[in-house]
Amino acid sequence: MTDAHAAVPPPLATALAHAGQEAVLRFWPTLDAAGRARLLGQLAVIDWHEFETLRRLALARDADHAPTPLDLSAASTPPCLRLRDAANPLPPATAIAAGERLLASGLVGAILVAGGQGTRLGCTGPKGLVRVGPVSRASLFDVLFGRLRAIQRRFGKHVPLAIMTSSATDADTRRFLRDSAHGGLDPDFVHVFRQHDLPTLDARFGTLLLDAPDHLAMAPDGHGGMLVALHESGGLDWFGRHGVKHLASFQVDNPLALPLDREFLGYHLLSKADFTTQVVLKREPGERVGIVVAQAGRHAVVEYSDLSPALAAERRPDGRLRFHAGSIAVHCFTKAFLDRAAARTDSLPLHLAHKAVPCLDDTGTLVRPAAPNAIKFERFIFDLMPLADRVTVVEIEARDGFAPLKNPAGSAADAPEHVHAALVDHARRLLAEAGVTVADGIDVELDAATILDASDIAAVLPRGTHITVPQVIRGA
Ligand code: UTP
């Protein structure tokens, strides 16, 4: 250790030497006290045992992904209940009544995962702040919190909400909550918790990358980081204190998400599932969506990249793809199941992704690579599925509950213009159900905080109303 390294705490210097990562200190002599403190702060929380695992995974080029937990050649699509389908073994009306009782008894909580960096969309802060309201320009947070308020109002009970943030989204999300009076939610029923970061490694050498002389390139540990972070933040106990027995989880980038749909919750309850999940029909082999599969009584979500083109294209005699249950990341767990999973340290495997990550070269110049140069590590919530003894799969219509915002304008799918069109289409269909028509080409929007379904529209607009100017329809 040179004089310039003198301020590095000896245990850390030893750990770095042991892990062969002294190069992260190459700019140390040039750093001021604040810069040194910043870098030391990051290094201090690295679990060097875990780092060794990450390094091994990064360098084992054939182990690109967490292994698929099931034998896909023997797997099939599990039976799916379908919303509003009278042919279901459990009748929709019975499920709706059960879901309503559940919501009215205050036994349901919600988890919103909002820690993603939104790199494809080009976010600089939380995706939740992106404006999607076709007329109102309401943000994703406004829409999702509004819908939660509407549910609370209708069923007369709070739905405690835990919001997961990350280093990329925490400060701005907390600011939003402060400035918006918690999005209109009772702060006693909102719990914000922050997921962990994991180091991003150089794909060639498995070494730590710097994105500034005093800063390691780190990234949130995937939406599956929710399990450990919720547990460590006391969130599971917090839900317990609020009497919650079932937890619905959803993602911040889907403004149509229906985690608290009565019928969905009813199927979850009546089928006594540990883990109930929503899917949409995957119609074409090339659709980039994970699929729910089952084999020998176990269920799993398989990423589209892990499905061979041949298996992806296989069709059943009824014309549906053999693997047609497209996962949309809306789940409901029993709290007991999450408690059990959180108590295990090996619950969720690490997935690797090759990404182009800006980093410093040896001269300290920030390089923005055009091709992937780094490995990022993530855990996924859906990897909890194989641990569940009872899984229920509920198919919904994509147009009713799935409008993900992933890509920038002009992209082929999941771009702002697709979300806009999906929200307007959804509003038009609910208005039509209430006997309200809308002139061609006119944008309409339903206020999420006051309109859950056509009955809320009927309370404010008489049948036969014709809308000719863009507007937001607000309920009573
Ligand atoms: P995506 O996997 O689509 O990631 O997240 P993203 O960050 O939104 O976008 P890209 O991949 O960088 O372009 C799906 C959901 O999971 C959350 C996101 O906030 C989104 O709600 N998520 C993702 C987390 O909460 N934490 C993570 O580490 C990753």
Distance CA 299, CA 161 (A): 27
Report the pLDDT value the prediction gives residue 68, as an integer from 0 to 100: 73
What pLDDT score does 66 carry? 64
Residue type, 224: G
For the stretch 239-285, pLDDT in tens is 999 999 999 999 999 999 999 999 999 999 999 999 999 999 999 99
In angstroms, the CA 76 to CA 329 distance is 19
Does the beta carbon of 166 sit less than 6 angstroms from any atom of ligand 1? yes
In the block, tokens 């599932």 appear at 273
Are 128 and 169 in contact, with CB atoms under 8 Å apart? yes
Q: Is 119 in the pocket of ligand 1 (CB under 6 A)?
A: yes
CA 118–ligand 1 middle distance (angstroms): 6
384 & 420 share domain:
no
pLDDT of residue 6: 60
Question: Is the pLDDT at 196 greater than 80, yes or no?
Answer: yes
Ligand 1 in contact with 404 (CB < 6 A)? no
Q: Could you tell me the pLDDT band of residue 69, with boundaries at 50, 70 and 90?
A: confident
The rounded percent of the chain whose pLDDT value lies above 90 is 94
- Domain boundary residue, one of 405, 430, 464: 405
Is 454 inside any structural domain? yes
Task: Enumerate residues 6+ apart whose C-beta is below 8 A from 220.
Answer: 115, 116, 117, 166, 167, 168, 195, 196, 197, 198, 378
Residues facing 438 on adjacent strands:
467
The answer to whether residue 143 sits within a structural domain is: yes
pLDDT at 7: 79
58 domain residue, yes or no: no
Nearest CA to 336 out of 256, 244, 468, 268 is that of 244
Give the ligand 1 atom nearest the CA of 253: 21
- With respect to residue 162, please indicate whether it lies within any of the assigned structural domains: yes
Q: Spell out a b/e string for 190-213, using b for 16 or more CB atoms within 10 Å of the CB, else e.
A: bbbbbbbbbbbbbbeebbbbbbbb
Asked whether 140 and 132 are in contact (CB, 8 A), the reply is: yes
The amino acid at residue 404 is P
Q: For residues 220 and 117, is the Cβ–Cβ distance under 8 A? A: yes
Q: Which has the closest alpha carbon to 246: 229, 266, 222, 230?
A: 266
Q: How far apart are CA 32 and CA 433, in angstroms?
A: 65
Q: Do 396 and 413 lie in a common domain? A: no
Residue that terminates a domain, selected from 365, 383, 405 = 405
Domain of residue 13 covers 3-45
Q: Is residue 61 included in any domain, yes or no?
A: no
Our mutation pick for probing the ligand 1 site, out of 127, 140, 173, 223, counting the most ligand atoms within 8 A of Cβ, is: 223
Average pLDDT, the chain: 95
- Same domain (yes/no): 136, 272: yes
- Identify whether residues 265 and 314 lie together within a single domain: yes
Centre a 10 Å sphere on the Cβ of residue 53 and count the other Cβ atoms it contains.
12
Q: How would residue 314 be classed by pLDDT, with cut points 50, 70 and 90?
A: very high
Residues 436 and 300 in one domain: no
Is there a domain that residue 52 lies in?
no
Which residue lies with its CA nearest to atom 10 of ligand 1? Answer: 118
Q: Is residue 359 included in any domain, yes or no?
A: yes
Judge contact between 292 and 301, C-beta under 8 A.
yes
246 and 366 share a domain? yes
Q: Which among 405, 435, 468 is the end of a domain?
A: 405
Only one residue has tokens 């962990």, namely: 196
What does the pLDDT read at residue 70?
A: 84
The domain tally of the chain equals 3
Co-location of 250 and 121 in the same domain: yes
Q: Quick one: 342 and 271 in the same domain?
A: yes
Asked whether residue 160 falls in the same domain as residue 264, the answer is yes
DSSP state of 469: S
Q: How far is CA 278 from each of CA 154, 338, 354, rounded to the nearest angstrom?
A: 23, 18, 28
Structure-token pair, residue 109: 């909580």
Asked if residue 449 and residue 330 are part of one domain, the reply reads no
* pLDDT tier at 60, thresholds 50, 70, 90: confident
Q: Which residue has the higher pLDDT, 107 or 68?
A: 107
In a domain, 321, yes or no: yes
Same domain, 338 and 263: yes
Measured between alpha carbons, how far is 116 from 144 in angstroms, rounded to an integer?
A: 16
* C-beta neighbour count of 436 within 10 angstroms: 23
Let me know whether 354 and 391 are in one domain. yes
Identify whether the C-beta of residue 279 lies closer than 8 Å to the C-beta of residue 265. no
Does 442 or 62 have the greater pLDDT score? 442
Close Cβ partners of 324 (under 8 Å, ≥ 6 residues apart) = 77, 281, 282, 283, 291
Q: Is 127 in the pocket of ligand 1 (CB under 6 A)?
A: yes
